Structure 1
Amino acid sequence: MPTGVAIRDVREQLFRAAERVLLRTGPNALTSRAVTAEAGCAKGVLHRHFADFDAFLVDLVRDRVAGLDARSAALRASAGTGTVAGNVREALSDLFGSVALAVVGLIASRDVLRARLRATSPAGVPLLTEAGAMLAAYLDAERELGRLADDADTDTLALTLIGAGHLLFAGLEGVPPDADAVHKVVAGVLSGVVREAA
């Protein structure tokens, strides 16, 4: 890209480029040069907007975590509609069918990134922790509506669903499990607490 040409929404363009590289070649191939080449800009563009490549990665993860807010609101709004297991299945498929799985792999593979994220988010694995909170809030709403047992431990259920969902989607080489497989796991986790009709 020629010098002096303005790039609209540089941060988001670089973030999307990083996601494409991450999905195509994995976390070990994610370098500033790979990101800027994918974005079609000079390497200096990234360094004008971020202190270093690790700072870029921290902002990428935080931006994607912030993106869960809209998903969380939509999931909570679905309380009382459809089935609890169906809503959770869709939420897990949306979460793990996106770039989130690759971002979790990135966090696991980079010590410096994990350390910087822990400075502001010391509990759990970023993205998975927030996704767990999203599911717990949804399950709380369903419990308040009487569609889950009054004594349902929504925090534990949410953690179990995130863990099971992660295992179900991880390692499938970009081919997600079919909806029935996801539904079977979700229904199994929720089987003792759901009060709605099947």
Structure 2
Amino acid sequence: MPTGVALRAVRAQLFDAAERVLLRDGPSGLTSRAVTTEADCAKGVLHRHFDDFDAFLAEFVLDRVEKLDEKTIALKDIAGTGTVVENLTEALTAVFESVAVAIVPLVIFRDELRARLRREWPAGVPVLTQAAVMIAAYLETERGLGRLAADADVDTLAATLIGATHLLFADRTGAAPEPDAVRKTVTAVVGSGT
């Protein structure tokens, strides 16, 4: 007799289940059994769609990176409105309140996952690197609009913002930082006149 419920979009449901488990239980709690239990399906379902659990995790991480691409478009669309500091504060908070902060220790925790990700993502932790690309694209647009210094090094600013903000959000079990703490960090990096 089959167990669980029929899965229409198997990968999406498994990835969503993995995200919930990762956010709730951390990297050590993210097992194939935990994912399939959360998705309410038989364990074999995961193994029918992925070579092994590390292959599943690699695709999960890359899927979550793709979701940042949607945020990139939305962030670039608000360029020229509000203030640069407020736009960055909101964007960085959204990134780090998502699964991104939980993916970092997952990638660090699993050697085979890191090795698989290196095949497609040669540098950095994929979600953080993609978030830096997103922030740099936004800053480049703002620089083009004259709301950031013409000689601003947007790539360095973006990497600095990602690193500094990650430190604020790094404890997934603690309370999220106050918006003022994120705003203060952004202001320190890009300046208060933006």
TM-score bin, normalised by smaller chain: over 0.9
Aligned to 1:189: 189
Aligned to 2:103: 103
State the TM-score, normalized to the length of structure 2.
0.95
For residues 45 and 107 of structure 1, what CA distance do their matches in structure 2 show? 23
For residues 172 and 44 of structure 2, what CA distance do their matches in structure 1 show? 36
Look up the SS of the partner of 2:148 in the other structure.
Answer: coil
Q: Given the superposition, is the C-alpha separation of residues 184 and 32 from structure 1 closer, same or farther in structure 2, using an over 3 Å criterion?
A: same
Q: Which letter does structure 1 place at the counterpart of 2:148?
A: L
Aligned to 2:86: 86
Consecutive unaligned residues of structure 1, counting only runs of 5 or more, are: none
Alpha carbons 2:14, 2:39 under 8 Å: kept: yes
Alpha carbons 2:169, 2:177 under 8 Å: kept: yes
For residues 89 and 189 of structure 2, what CA distance do their matches in structure 1 show? 11
Look up the SS of the partner of 2:106 in the other structure.
Answer: helix
* Identical positions, percent: 64
Aligned to 1:123: 123
For residues 54 and 140 of structure 1, what CA distance do their matches in structure 2 show? 36
Q: Which letter does structure 1 place at the counterpart of 2:176?
A: P
> What is the number of residues matched between the two proteins?
194
Aligned pairs for 1:48-59 (under 5 A) are 48-59=48-59
Deviates more, 1:25-34 or 1:157-166: 25-34
Alpha carbons 1:164, 1:185 under 8 Å: kept: yes
Q: Given the superposition, is the C-alpha separation of residues 40 and 174 from structure 1 closer, same or farther in structure 2, using an over 3 Å criterion?
A: farther
State the TM-score, normalized to the length of structure 1.
0.94
Aligned to 2:10: 10
For residues 160 and 4 of structure 2, what CA distance do their matches in structure 1 show? 50
Q: Given the superposition, is the C-alpha separation of residues 174 and 89 from structure 1 closer, same or farther in structure 2, using an over 3 Å criterion?
A: same
Q: Which letter does structure 1 place at the counterpart of 2:159?
A: L
Alpha carbons 2:58, 2:116 under 8 Å: kept: yes
**1:58 Cα deviation from its structure 2 partner:** 0.5
**1:175 Cα deviation from its structure 2 partner:** 2.1
For residues 82 and 164 of structure 2, what CA distance do their matches in structure 1 show? 22
Q: Which letter does structure 1 place at the counterpart of 2:132?
A: G
For residues 25 and 5 of structure 1, what CA distance do their matches in structure 2 show? 23
Aligned to 1:74: 74
Deviates more, 1:8-17 or 1:54-63: 8-17
**1:6 Cα deviation from its structure 2 partner:** 2.8
Please give the root-mean-square deviation of Cα atoms over the aligned residues, in Å: 1.5
**1:25 Cα deviation from its structure 2 partner:** 1.2
